Amino acid sequence: MMDTVQAIALAFDYSAKRLLSFKENLEANAQVKEEMVRRQKLKTLFETRWASRSDSLNTFLSAYNVVVDSLEDLEQQGDSKARGYACSIDFIVSLVVVQSTLQPLVPLSAMLQNKEIDLIEAVAENKVVIEQLRRNRNEDGHWDDLFHKATVVAASVNEVPVIPRGVARQVNRVNVPAVNPSQYWKRAMYLPFVDHLIQELTSRLVKNEDRFAAQTLIPQNLHVLTNDMLNKIFTCYHDDLTATTVVEFQEEVDRWRIKWDMARDPTCKLASLSETLAVTNFNLYPNIFICLSILITMPVATATAERSFSLMRRVKTHVRSTMLSQTFKSLSATRL
């Protein structure tokens, strides 16, 4: 479904004739034009930015009628690919469900892309999103609303949701038992999709929650460091620490806490991980130094690395293909 949405968005975006047909049909449909919020074309989606995917699917869903009308007009005008695109957009139920399910992930995705993200807060917000997905999954009324919305969209283009053709010994397609289209799409598409999202969110963030607790060692966060968190930190980092017992580690943390309590200006306590690591004396606080060193190498998201790749495209162009590594490194550091 997402690949087809991307293909159709690019087809309209890179063809003046198709884009003109889309704009003409958009002007003729006042309701869709209002839902598009001053947009004149479809929004392409990015492979790595899930926030943009939700926005792209929302735009495509709002302009679904216009897309269908435009493809029909282009087919009558002799566009050879319009017929193929028109036959491939029979995924209304999937479109509605995925767009609605990804919507709660947009604020979380934006939060995870922040360079100075709070790891503990990110895990807490991730748990909220997971709980929201679970409640929606187990609530029949939520699915009924989604399926009703898909039915309304299908009716606007003279279609009705149906159960795909299946056989008794089907092995290559989803062949779940169902008595009606609503039950089929819920079992075949909605439940597996939501379960996959919950599993991914849990394995990527919640699973590393104890390791992220080392963020409480930052001076500005010491007031939230409890004995329970301290035990979790020691358990997670035990293999790399010089302390052999939790009591030894706790004594070092107590000295670390007193050090910052005796600071001349308590309001100037360090708030970032990199700044704290720079002033931590390894000889005096070896275990804290190790914890912070490991934590700083554990990015919660890949946004920073993807920004580097995007920057590389702008710095090392075809004209600069023979650029040496040192020059490229210097220019990249300047841009960042």
pLDDT at position 97 is: 92
Q: Is the pLDDT of residue 119 over 70?
A: yes
Residues 247 and 221 in one domain: yes
Q: Whole-angstrom Cα distance, residue 107 to residue 51?
A: 8
For residue 183, what pLDDT band results from cuts at 50, 70 and 90?
A: very high
Residues 113 and 245 in one domain: no
Q: Is the pLDDT of residue 336 over 80?
A: no
Q: Is the pLDDT of residue 29 over 70?
A: yes
pLDDT at position 102 is: 87
CB 272 within 8 A of CB 218: yes
For residue 35, what pLDDT band results from cuts at 50, 70 and 90?
A: confident
Q: Which residue has the higher pLDDT, 298 or 71?
A: 71
Q: Is the pLDDT of residue 281 over 60?
A: yes
pLDDT at position 307 is: 67
Residues 197 and 215 in one domain: no
Q: Which residue has the higher pLDDT, 165 or 280?
A: 280
Residues 292 and 278 in one domain: yes
Q: Whole-angstrom Cα distance, residue 214 to residue 203?
A: 19
For 313, the domain range is 303-335
pLDDT at position 204 is: 80
For residue 287, what pLDDT band results from cuts at 50, 70 and 90?
A: very high
Average of per-residue pLDDT across 309-332: 78
Residues 113 and 34 in one domain: yes
pLDDT tens by residue, 70-114: 998 998 888 888 888 888 887 889 999 998 988 888 888 888 877
Q: Is the pLDDT of residue 52 over 80?
A: no
- Please say which residue of 207, 241, 273 terminates a domain: 207
Q: Domain tally for the chain?
A: 3
- Please say which residue of 207, 241, 275 terminates a domain: 207
Residues 241 and 265 in one domain: yes
Residues 23 and 65 in one domain: yes
Residues 186 and 222 in one domain: no
Residues 120 and 233 in one domain: no
Average of per-residue pLDDT across 8-36: 86
- Please say which residue of 207, 240, 259 terminates a domain: 207
Residues 216 and 193 in one domain: no
Closest Cα partner for 295 from 128, 121, 118, 124?
118
Listed range (109-113, 178-182, 191-195, 218-222) with the worst mean pLDDT: 109-113
